[in-house]
Amino acid sequence: MLLTPGPLTTSKTVKENMLADHGTWDDDYKELTEWVRHELVAIANASQKEYTAILMQGSGSFGVEATLGTAIPKQNATLLIAENGAYGERMVQMADYLNIAHVVLKVPETEPVTRELVATALEAHPEITHFAVVHCETTTGILNPIETILPELQKHNIVTIVDAMSSFGGVPIDLTTLQADYLITSSNKCIQGVPGFSIVLAKRATLETTQYQARSLSLDLYEQYRTFEDDNGKWRFTSPTHVMYAFAQALRELAVEGGITVRFRRYQTNEQRIREGMLDMGYKVVIEEAVQSPIITSFLYPTDDFDFHDFYEYLKDRGFIIHPGKVSRVNSFRIGNIGAITKTDIDRLLQVVADYTTEELHPARA
């Protein structure tokens, strides 16, 4: 069982949908692709006329890189990147690689990006035309308040890009209200599919101004969009067919569960149960509860000589995979709350952690 921020634990039926082979030219496959694109716009509460979903081969980072590399003109444009963790930092690296003029708004990893910080950066840099931020910074599990940040940018007609990789599908996002120009996620996060492609929800009017802007042939978001649109769901270049069938099943299962709001509550309950169970055992969290997302929780090493590798192997032997920490200044590990996991799974996890804590960390007390 994966207690990680993606790939995550998927249902048996999602996996079973990968047992047949499919041709990419086939009409059934193209129809499935169109249905998936349509459904993604619908669950973002956006209108099909205003928004579109573009699928891009590769992991989530490929979708972010395709968006940054296509959305920002080569001249007379500057990107402001809000960074409070590893994924914000990855966007800065992409901007460096792609030669995109950019300004970095650096915020401590344990604090959220705020509207006030963004407003101050805009005042200092009137040249800014585009803005990128991570919604759930999976580094810590912090949730940046995009609903209050984006209106500040829209007042200045700044194009907005949201990395909602680890939140979309698990945290309600209403694009009709939010009006983000680009919002990015992937097949293997909260929609609970398997890895293989990223997803960009884009405002058509914005995207349609980006022809010939891309800095990469394969990651040309505009051309990818045109091929889907002009060829009734035909992907540009070879697509991950099995992953698509699994993903379509994952979307059906999201609807059966009751949609994003119901899934959000399940994740919140998971998060609470894990956090409270760990706190009861004496573990401490890295970030404040007020900005904690229901996606993943970071815990401090319980002792100075805590051996993460040993803890990891102990949990793995008993059926659970967790994630190392990613916060730079403190020693931490992370437990993911997303995926096809239930209360029973969590109770079993907490029992295993309790056993480890008494046997390995406090052997004298055992």
Ligand X SMILES: *Cc1c(COP(=O)(O)O)cnc(C)c1O
Q: Which amino acid is at 279?
A: L
Nearer to ligand X, 96 or 208 (CB): 96
Least Cα distance to 294 among 251, 260, 264 occurs for 264
Pairing of strands 182-186, 197-203: antiparallel
Min dist. Cβ of residue 70 to ligand X (A): 17
Min dist. Cβ of residue 10 to ligand X (A): 15
Element (H, E) at 242: helix 241-257
Q: Is the peptide bond before 363 cis (omega within 30 degrees of 0)?
A: no
Element (H, E) at 116: helix 115-124
Nearer to ligand X, 41 or 164 (CB): 164
Nearer to ligand X, 29 or 87 (CB): 87
Nearer to ligand X, 168 or 245 (CB): 168
Residues lying near ligand X in the complex (CB under 6 A) are found at 5-6, 59-61, 87, 134, 138, 163, 165-166, 186
Sign of the CA dihedral running 217, 248, 204, 168 = negative
Nearer to ligand X, 63 or 233 (CB): 63
Element (H, E) at 52: strand 51-57
Residue 215 annotated as part of some ligand binding site:
no
Rounded to an integer, what distance in angstroms lies between the CA atom of residue 279 and that of residue 273?
Answer: 10
Adjacent-strand bridge partners of 199? 55, 185
Nearest residue (beta carbon) to ligand X? 60
Rounded to an integer, what distance in angstroms lies between the CA atom of residue 73 and that of residue 244?
Answer: 31
Min dist. Cβ of residue 338 to ligand X (A): 10
Quick one: how far is CA 147 from the chain centroid? 16
Min dist. Cβ of residue 190 to ligand X (A): 10
Min dist. Cβ of residue 194 to ligand X (A): 12
Min dist. Cβ of residue 203 to ligand X (A): 20
Q: Under a CB-based contact definition with an 8 Å cutoff, are residues 139 and 324 in contact?
A: no
Nearer to ligand X, 113 or 122 (CB): 113
Query: Residues at the annotated binding site for substrate?
Result: 334
Query: Residues at the annotated binding site?
Result: 334
